[in-house]
Every structure is written in structure tokens, then in C-alpha cells.
Amino acid sequence: MKYPELSFEPFFSWVNRSRIMYSPGLRSEVGYEMAQLGGTRAVIFTDKGLVDAGVAGMVVEAVEKSDLALAGVFDGILQDARIDLINEGARFYREKGADCLIAVGGGSVMDTAKAINILIGDGLDDFAPLAAQAALWDGAKPLPPHIAFPTTAGTGCEITNAMVVLDTEAHAKLQVTHPFCNSDIAMLDPELTLKLPAKITAFTGMDALTHAIEGVTSNNAEPIADALGFHAIRMICRYLPVAVREPDNVDARGNMLLASTIAGMCFVNAMTGAVHALAHTLGALHGIPHGLANAIMLPHVMAFNLEERPDRFMMVADAMGIPVDGKEPIEAGRLAVQAVKALLKEVGLTQTLKDFGVPGEREGLQPLVDLASGDGQISYNPRYVEEEDIINLYLKAR
């Protein structure tokens, strides 16, 4: 295709602090790498599902074979980074006399670990006031050594300097940023993702796709994030169906893990948009897993945004492998929406909001609208979103 001129804000900044390493079997390097960071005694943060599946054990075994001491395994993390569990995790770390941490898990585990590390680094016990402050940059200092092994592909939050935490009392998801919260090293070992069930593979992959698509179409889109986002889209469209169909395919799993991290590097700089704003709310009020909520909302929000940034949606279509030569940008963008719907079907994600008990009338949707309209990511949506628009998007996704 002929590359269109893509406009962007002339003043921007781009950052990625984490070192990224990739290899099947990379976990065997964890002891060496943690020693380089100065860590000697690690707590592994994970969840019971990963313990039961033997995935956490693969990292435990790698630690035990190294000179790194294992202080303990905290496997009490639940869906979403809950403030009560963040505080409990920090207590566990201190009780075990640890000086570094390893996160083994998906977004909930990695975000919980980030928040725990902030409490440890700042000598604090309660994350609630920090979550309320949202921006933790003023006076922030480097945190104890932190290595992340993502087990989904995924959230990309092994490298993002942001976390989403769940305030269980307020039923709200709060976005918090800190310059040093992301892992010092993101260790991408696709062997840790082989046991991921097809459905979770599918919706975490769609989460990564959402990061990439929203990142390259947001108000904050810029060339560096574009380079990452468009390539992540190419990789996901090629490898996600394979990873769902062939769970043991290390090549497909590895490419998905890389795509997820690349999409994370895109969106943490370019931000996201209305898909994320509406999905955060579905997670907070209806418990819909974040990736699945994104997957359901993505085609509807794309269609809503098309006319605002047609050239960028044409680039999305091109990255998805759709022939766009000779097509008007808006037409190509519509094909991208159809391709997302086809991909959802191909990977077995056919649920709608109705399946999760999301109300079908305006009055019932109001609590969702109230939360979504105040979500920080909605400001980055390329098209201005009114409350009426939010209602319509939820209704379309039923």
C-alpha cells in the first residue's frame, strides 16, 4: 500500500525502562540476572491457578537450581490487582526477609507485584492512598530488584509504568503510574504460556490487539509508538489463531508473547481510548476479565472512531493483512472492523455483554456510564465520547 501521511502531536516523549529478554527456557537465567540487579533473596508472586498448573513451579525450580535464595511463594493473588492483597503481599515480603521479587503471572499478578514493590521501596503498608493519588512521580525513587515472567500474552504490563488496581470497596478500577514500577527485566519465556487454556489465550491475545489498535489510533499516537503498534497487529493477526489452535506451538506462543510486550511499549506511551475506558468499568462492576471486556468492545469502538482517523484505520487494516490498495481509507477501516469480528469468531470469542448480565436498558447502564465517562483513558479516544455514545456502545455490544 502507499503509506499515507499520518499526523501526530509535534511534541511528545517516549520511554521504556525495562530490559526485555526472550528465549524459550529463559527462566534458567533468572538467578544470574537477579544477581546482576543485586537481589539475593526473592519472593515469587503468582496465583493458585498457575501453581496448580505447574507453571509457577517451573520458575521455582529455576530459582532453586540457581544461587538465588527463595524466600517464599505468595500465591494468593486473585483476578485484578486488589488493594487488600497488595498490602498482604507486602507484609509477606517483609516477613520472609526478601530483598527482591519475581512476578509469575498475567496482568493481575504483575500489577499486584508492581504495587507491592512500591510499598516495599517506600517503606509503606497501605496502597490505598497511593492508588488515590494516581500519579506517583514526584520524589519517586528506584525500587528493589524486580523480574517479571508474563504467563499470558497479554497485558504487556511487564514493561508498562502503569498499573490498574481494584478498589473492592468503591467497585472502581484505579489507574496508577510510577516511573520505576515496571520490571527491571521482562523475561519472556514462551514455555510458561504453553498450558494457557484456549479461551484465556484468545482473550488475552485480543487484549494485546486492543492495546496496539488503540495505541496507533489514539489522540497521543506518534511515530515510535506507531512502529511498535502496527507490527504488533501484524504479529497478533498471524499468530493468535495458531496459538489458540495449537497450544504447544512454542513459535506461535513466543511470537504472541513478543507481540504483547511490543503492544505494551506502544500503548503505555500513546495511551488507549474508549475500549479501555468501557472495559475497565465492565471489569469493576460486572467482573468481566479485562481482555475479554476489551475483545467484546473493540469492534464497536473501532466503528465509532473510524471517521475521526480514517488513514490510521486504513493502516490497521493493512497491518491485519487486508489488501487496501485502491480503497478509500474509510472503506479500508470498515474492513478492519470486519476483520476484528472475524478474528474474534476464529478464536472462539463469541460472547456479548448480554452473556454477563449487563443491563439492556438505559437506567441499568447508568452506573457503567458514570464510571466509564470518568475513566482516564477516555480522554485519549480519537473521537469525543459523550455519555449518550457510551450508552449506545454498550447497547451495541450486547
Partner 1 sequence: MEFWKDPQEAVTAILKLHEEVAKDPELSEGMKKVNQLILYDYTESGPGCAVWVDARGGKLEFGAGDPPGTPDLVMSLSADDAHRSWSDKLNPVMAITRKKIRVKGSATGLLKLAPKLKKVAAVYIQVLKDLGMEDKIIK
Confirm or reject binding of residue 10 to partner 1 (CB under 8 A).
no
What is the distance between the alpha carbons of residues 110 and 114, in angstroms, rounded to a whole number?
Answer: 6
When binding is defined by CB under 8 A, the residue of 40, 168, 373, 392 that contacts partner 1 is 373
Q: Which is nearer to partner 1, 132 or 198 (CB)?
A: 132
Helix or strand or coil: residue 188? strand
Smallest separation, CB 179 to partner 1 (Å): 7
169 near partner 1, judged by CB under 8 A: no
Q: Which is nearer to partner 1, 46 or 220 (CB)?
A: 220
- Separation between Cα atoms, residue 104 and residue 146, nearest integer Å: 11
> CA 42, CA 324: separation in Å to the nearest integer?
51
Among 28, 40, 366, 379, interactor with partner 1 by CB under 8 A: 379
Residues 251-280 within binding reach of partner 1 (CB under 8 A)? 271
Long-range contacts of 319-326 (CB under 8 A, 24+ apart): 319/230, 319/231, 319/233, 319/234, 319/237, 320/233, 320/234, 320/237, 321/234, 321/237, 321/238, 324/1, 325/1, 325/2
Query: Applying CB under 8 A, which of residues 133, 246, 345, 360 lies at the interface with partner 1?
Result: 133
Q: Cβ–Cβ contacts within 10 Å for residue 351, how many? A: 15
Nearer to partner 1 by C-beta: 177 or 338?
Answer: 177
Strands 162-167 and 172-177 come out as antiparallel
Q: Contact between 15 and partner 1 (CB under 8 A)?
A: yes
Stretch that binds partner 1, among 57-65, 207-215, 315-323, 367-375 (CB under 8 A): 367-375
**CA 42, chain centre distance (Å):** 24
The answer to whether 129 contacts partner 1 (rule: CB under 8 A) is: yes
Q: Does 367 bind partner 1 (CB under 8 A)?
A: no
Handedness of CA 119, 125, 127, 129 (dihedral sign): negative
Q: Does 174 bind partner 1 (CB under 8 A)?
A: yes
Binds partner 1 (CB under 8 A): choice among 64, 67, 137, 246: 137
Of 9-17, 28-36, 303-311, 319-327, which segment contacts partner 1 by CB under 8 A?
A: 9-17
What minimum distance in Å lies between the beta carbon of 126 and partner 1? 13
Does residue 325 interact with partner 1 by CB under 8 A? Answer: no
Cell numbers standing for residue 391: 450508552
Q: Per CB under 8 A, which of residues 60..119 are in contact with partner 1?
A: none
Classify residue 2 as exposed, middle or buried by CB count within 10 Å of its CB (0-12, 13-18, 19+): exposed
Residue closer to partner 1 (CB basis): 135 or 330: 135
CB of 132 to partner 1, least distance (A): 4
Question: x/- binding map, residues 189-228, to partner 1, per CB under 8 A?
Answer: -------------------------------x--------
Q: Which range touches partner 1 (CB under 8 A), out of 58-66, 200-208, 209-217, 370-378?
A: 370-378
Please state, in angstroms and rounded to a whole number, the distance separating the CA atoms of residues 138 and 345. Answer: 45
What is the Cα–Cα distance from 289 to 173, expressed in whole angstroms? 12
Q: How many Cβ atoms from other residues are within 10 Å of residue 119's Cβ?
A: 21
| Cα gap 161→181, rounded to integer Å | 6
Q: Does 13 bind partner 1 (CB under 8 A)?
A: yes
Per CB under 8 A, the segment of 23-31, 42-50, 340-348, 368-376 that binds partner 1 is: 368-376
- Residues in contact with partner 1, counted by CB under 8 A, come to a total of 27
Evaluate whether 201 touches 244 at the Cβ level (below 8 Å): yes
Cross-sheet strand order for the sheet of 69-74: 19-22, 185-188, 146-150, 100-105, 41-45, 69-74
Considering only 38, 91, 126, 132, the residue that binds partner 1 (CB under 8 A) is 132
Cα distance between residue 324 and residue 47, in whole Å? 44
State yes or no: residue 32 binds partner 1 (CB under 8 A): no
Dihedral angle of Cα 70, 33, 180, 117, to the nearest 10 degrees: 0
Q: How far is the CB of 254 from partner 1 (least distance, A)?
A: 31
Which residues are near partner 1 by CB under 8 A? 9, 11-13, 15, 129, 131-135, 137-138, 172, 174, 177, 179, 220, 271, 373-376, 378-379, 384-385
